[in-house]
């Protein structure tokens, strides 16, 4: 299996090469040269597997340059700290089940991919004898999941950018309480898109990228996308019976388009997914795109601070991988589209919009703060569950797209403890914290405040990078 760039200007790479490369040298993203196929018989043969065993089977289709025994060992290690079931499914009534993706060490779905990423990046670096300075941006959960997966890895350091004042109290504590010489938290004076733009700018400076051994763990990283594919197969196997390939629909709270893109990959591989339903908050650029075909990212000043902060994103990096498929894998059209975006501030795919549903199965919707509160309250009253505000965005939109006889799965994104203020507002409950979480919240925080300045960031990395 080889990986090519969505912009067509880079040499094909192996899985390990692509995951260390991050952003391709031509500015594009790595995608499989040919998407692996999973037939009905193979899919059914996976029903009795544990989650690490299923991860080994699915990831082996992508990581063909890693021996099977090594891959199995890394998958077992990645999910060893999770409960036995790893990803539980829980019905909340009305034809909707939650896919529990927040059982990992940082209580968010990002752990599902990051714990594997920590294993496979360390493995790839050991094979080459090199080091990696991870440069990432987070709107809330990616940063803590990455840092907790990579802390203590002697060949890896992390430079994680976050927007000043835009994360929850819990999210900030989870990142900034880490005290490790190779973990560098940098709070940027701006919004998430400013952080993401800095990452892309430095990753696009190939001389600097090579000199500083820069890599990425944001959702543009190939290993994260492929690791997330696994739980779509896992959820389908548990939401269906053995009598044929019954379809499910999946609703995904979406910010940077990585989580739902993994579902799109699973659907392309042959998993019987009827609809992929994208849910946004008030920053509804992606909802507008899937409803109209017009992609119009907002400026930083227009990106709203909401009570589902991990989705306060206006420029969805992973959308490029979907656009690559939309234009028939014509890299020149992808390049032209992003040239149009740079010139006009928008990309016009209105003529292709009917294909979003008919050919690819995408639907979308958005919600507000009032919707989140009402949904959290309703789920608590009817099902006894407390859901976080991002999952509430998903449940609200999922209810708008239910179909008779088609199970609807909603991907849970985080434990409610990460957003205690919103839970208190919705249902008047003070959530309890385990002693170790209370200790984390009270611990000293380690963070550097920085202007939205690429030169200042370059200087900081040069002074602190592993070599």
Domains plus CATH for the chain?
89-107+226-427 (3.40.50.1100)
- pLDDT at res. 241: 78
d(CA 135, CA 221): 11
DSSP 31-48: EESS-----HHHHHHTTT
Contact 427, 380 (CB under 8 A): yes
251: left (phi over 0), alpha (psi -120 to 50) or beta: beta
List % helix, strand, coil for the chain (3-state, nearest 5): 50, 15, 35
The pLDDT of residue 216: 81
Contact 280, 254 (CB under 8 A): yes
Q: Count other C-beta atoms under 10 Å from residue 439's C-beta.
A: 12
In 3D space, the residue among 235, 255, 250, 259 whose CA is nearest the CA of residue 111 turns out to be 259
pLDDT at 300: 83
DSSP alpha helix (H) spans, 2-95: 15-21, 40-45, 51-62, 68-78
pLDDT one-digit tens code per residue, 316-335: 989 999 999 999 999 999 99
Residues 144, 165: Cα–Cα separation, whole Å:
16
Read off the DSSP letter of residue 305. P
Secondary structure letter of residue 414 according to DSSP: B
pLDDT reported for residue 154: 86
**Residue 41 has which token pair?**
């018989």
Q: Taking a C-beta distance cutoff of 8 angstroms, is the pair 59, 71 a contact?
A: yes
Say whether pLDDT at 306 is over 90: yes
State the average pLDDT over residues 67-83: 97
33-42, 66-75, 208-217, 267-276: which has the minimum mean pLDDT?
Answer: 208-217
pLDDT higher than threshold 80 for residue 135: yes
Arithmetic mean of pLDDT, 157-164: 95
Mean local confidence (pLDDT), 388-410: 97
pLDDT (mean) for 339-356: 96
The residue count for the chain: 467
Instruction: Please check the confidence at residue 218 and state whether its pLDDT lies above 80.
Output: no
pLDDT for the residue 32: 98
pLDDT above 60 for 346: yes
pLDDT level of residue 245 (50, 70, 90 thresholds): low
pLDDT at 242: 63
For residue 22, the model assigns a pLDDT of 84
Lowest mean pLDDT among 68-72, 189-193, 335-339: 189-193
Q: What percent of the chain has pLDDT over 90?
A: 86
Catalytic residue among 110, 200, 209, 415: 110
336 pLDDT more than 90: yes
Mean pLDDT (whole number) for 358-386: 98
The question of whether 110 is a catalytic residue gets the answer: yes
Specify the pairing of strand 96-99 against strand 89-93: antiparallel
> Is residue 21 predicted with pLDDT exceeding 90?
no
Q: Mean pLDDT, the chain, as a whole number?
A: 94
């Amino acid at each position: 299996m080889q990986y090519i760039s969505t912009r067509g200007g880079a040499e094909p790479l192996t899985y390990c090469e692509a995951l260390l490369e991050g952003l391709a040298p031509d500015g594009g993203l790595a995608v499989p040269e040919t998407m692996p196929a999973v037939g009905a018989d193979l899919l059914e043969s996976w029903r009795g597997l544990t989650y690490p065993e299923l991860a080994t089977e699915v990831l082996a289709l992508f990581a063909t340059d890693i021996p099977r025994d090594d891959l199995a060992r890394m998958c077992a290690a990645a999910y060893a700290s999770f409960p036995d079931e790893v990803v539980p499914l829980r019905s909340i009534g009305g034809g909707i089940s939650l896919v529990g993706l927040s059982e990992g060490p940082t209580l968010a779905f990002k752990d599902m991919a990051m714990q594997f990423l920590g294993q496979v990046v360390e493995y790839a670096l050991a094979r080459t004898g090199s080091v990696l300075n991870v440069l990432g941006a987070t709107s809330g959960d990616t940063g803590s999941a990455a840092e907790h997966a990579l802390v203590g890895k002697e060949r890896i350091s992390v430079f994680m950018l976050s927007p000043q004042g835009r994360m929850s109290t819990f999210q900030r504590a989870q990142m900034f309480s880490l005290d490790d010489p190779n973990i560098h938290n940098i709070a940027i004076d701006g919004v998430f898109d400013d952080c993401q733009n800095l990452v892309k700018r430095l990753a696009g400076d190939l001389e600097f990228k090579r000199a500083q051994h820069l890599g990425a763990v944001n959702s543009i990283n190939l290993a994260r996308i492929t690791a997330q594919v696994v739980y779509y197969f896992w959820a389908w196997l548990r939401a269906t019976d053995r009598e044929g390939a019954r379809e499910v629909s999946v609703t995904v709270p979406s910010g940077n388009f990585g989580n739902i893109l993994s579902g799109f990959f699973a659907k392309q591989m042959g998993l019987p997914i009827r609809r992929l339903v994208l849910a946004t908050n008030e920053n509804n650029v992606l909802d507008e795109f899937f409803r109209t075909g017009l992609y119009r990212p907002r400026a930083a000043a227009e990106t709203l601070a909401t009570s589902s902060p991990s989705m306060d994103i206006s420029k969805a990096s992973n959308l490029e991988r979907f656009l690559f498929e939309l234009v028939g894998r014509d890299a020149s059209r992808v390049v032209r589209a992003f040239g149009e975006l740079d010139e006009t501030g928008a990309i016009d795919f209105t003529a292709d919009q009917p294909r979003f549903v008919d050919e690819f199965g995408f639907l979308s919707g958005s919600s507000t703060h009032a919707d989140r509160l009402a949904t959290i309250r309703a789920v608590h009253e009817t099902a006894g569950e407390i859901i976080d505000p991002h999952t509430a965005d998903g449940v609200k939109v999922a209810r708008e797209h239910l179909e008779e006889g088609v199970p609807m799965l909603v991907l849970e994104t985080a434990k409610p403890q990460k957003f205690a203020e919103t839970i208190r507002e919705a249902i008047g409950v003070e959530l309890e914290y385990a002693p170790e979480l209370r200790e984390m919240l009270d611990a000293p925080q380690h963070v550097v405040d920085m202007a939205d300045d690429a030169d200042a960031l370059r200087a900081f990395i040069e002074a602190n990078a592993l070599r």
